[in-house]
Amino acid sequence: MRIMLDIGHPAHVHYFRNFIRIMESRGHRFLVTARDREHVKELLYYYDIPYENRGEGGKSLPGKIWYLVGTAWEQYRRARKFKPDLFVDFSTIYSGPAARMTGKPYITFTDTENTRIYRRFIDPFCKKVYTPSCFTGDLGSHHYRFNGLMELAYLHPDYFEPDPSILEEVKIKPEERFAIVRFVDWMAVHDRGKHGFSDRKKVELVRTLERYGRVFISSEGPLPDELEAQRLRLASHKIHDLLFFATVLVGEGATMTTEAAILGTPAIYLSDFRLGNLLYLENNYGLVLNYGTTGKDQAMALKSAATLLGRPGTKSNAARQSMKILEDHIDVTRFMVETIEQFDANAGKDD
């Protein structure tokens, strides 16, 4: 089978990298297209995944619209040359039109409820959309659920083993407590009108946590000058090693929050978005605390983060809960392989 797979975010590389490797070992062929984004390129290079660059994307709303039209056309031209049997992505919106124009089926995945604008460019085109069972939305008759979390496609023990040498790289002692703080740039279409920490609140958060341990900052955008020295400068593929050993994560990014919980690091998520997977991890495992972005919420989140970082036993308790996550859910990569291969086998009679 020939599969055209599109990637728009660093997380998508992780979602599909093991799937690509296994499928290629079984004789399937891929054309991977990817957004020209720093960590996307770095990860694709590291995991030795050849790809075609589809550009950086627009910054303003008119620029995003123009990029959508131009990229959809370019994807169609690439597809005519590659002749895929199937299109696959994580709801990047560029596969659907190309699939329709070439008359080929399109399968997509998502775990994010707050992408209503994107869904208008996805749902009319896709044959099936797969989500974790904790997804709170209903995407219609072509919506199918699986018992897992997308991050288990690469953090499942069959694919991930933490490398303790990361501690030496960042000059942390094996039993030393430390926090990772994650700030996002709020530039995505679904982020319009939303915001995170102000610069003043970023400084307050970091300085408060420093009373209890070291603090490392992962940030998509610029930082206040007084925090720049604490910016993480790790190779992209090493972040999960560090996240595994961290005592707590405080952040605005949903993907890293979910990763932390699976890796046994309690996470505090600050956003006005109420995402099904993060509510599920809070209500069923206690590994995520969800807060809004009001001043009161930020104050409560800061207090919770300081308590977790300063309290003995935080990591051991979280590790036990993360084991339950692994016991309760499937290997998502295996699910993707079996699902796509079954779809290929039944392509002529699939409903």
If you search the block for the tokens 């998509």, which residue do you land on?
220
CATH number of 165-328: 3.40.50.2000
Q: Quote the pLDDT of residue 198.
A: 83
Domain boundaries, the chain: 2-148+330-345, 165-328
List C-alpha distances in Å: 96 to 20, 73, 105, 296, 346.
20, 11, 9, 42, 21
d(CA 285, CA 266): 10
Q: Quote the pLDDT of residue 26.
A: 96
Please give, one letter per residue, the 3-state secondary structure of the chain.
CEEEEEECCHHHHHHHHHHHHHHHHCCCEEEEEECCCHHHHHHHHHCCCCCEECCCCCCCHHHHHHHHHHHHHHHHHHHHHHCCCEEEECCCCCHHHHHHHHCCCEEEECCCCCCHHHHCCCCCCCCEEEEECCCCCCCCCCEEEECCCCCHHHHCCCCCCCCCHHHHHCCCCCCCCEEEEEECCCCCHHHCCCCCCCHHHHHHHHHHHCCCCEEEEEECCCCCHHHHHHECCCCHHHHHHHHHHCCEEEECCHHHHHHHHHCCCCEEEECCCCCHHHHHHHHHHCCEEEECCCHHHHHHHHHHHHHHHHCCCHHHHHHHHHHHHHHHCCCHHHHHHHHHHHHHHCCCCCC
Q: Quote the pLDDT of residue 192.
A: 45
Q: Quote the pLDDT of residue 64.
A: 77
Q: Quote the pLDDT of residue 93.
A: 87
Q: Quote the pLDDT of residue 68.
A: 83
Question: Do 165-328 and 2-148+330-345 fall under one CATH topology?
Answer: yes
List C-alpha distances in Å: 332 to 156, 159, 337.
8, 11, 9
Per-residue pLDDT of the chain (351 residues; tens, 9 = 90+): 999 999 999 999 999 999 999 999 999 999 999 999 889 999 999 999 999 999 887 777 777 778 888 888 999 999 999 999 999 999 988 999 999 999 999 999 999 988 777 777 788 899 999 999 999 999 999 999 999 999 999 999 999 999 999 999 999 998 899 999 999 864 444 444 455 678 888 999 999 999 999 999 999 888 999 999 999 999 999 999 999 999 999 998 899 999 999 999 999 999 888 899 999 999 999 999 999 988 899 899 999 999 999 998 999 999 999 999 999 999 999 999 999 999 876 764 544
Q: Which CATH number fits domain 2-148+330-345: 2.40.10.220, 3.40.50.2000, 3.90.1860.10, 3.40.50.2300?
A: 3.40.50.2000
pTM of the model: 0.92
Q: Quote the pLDDT of residue 212.
A: 94
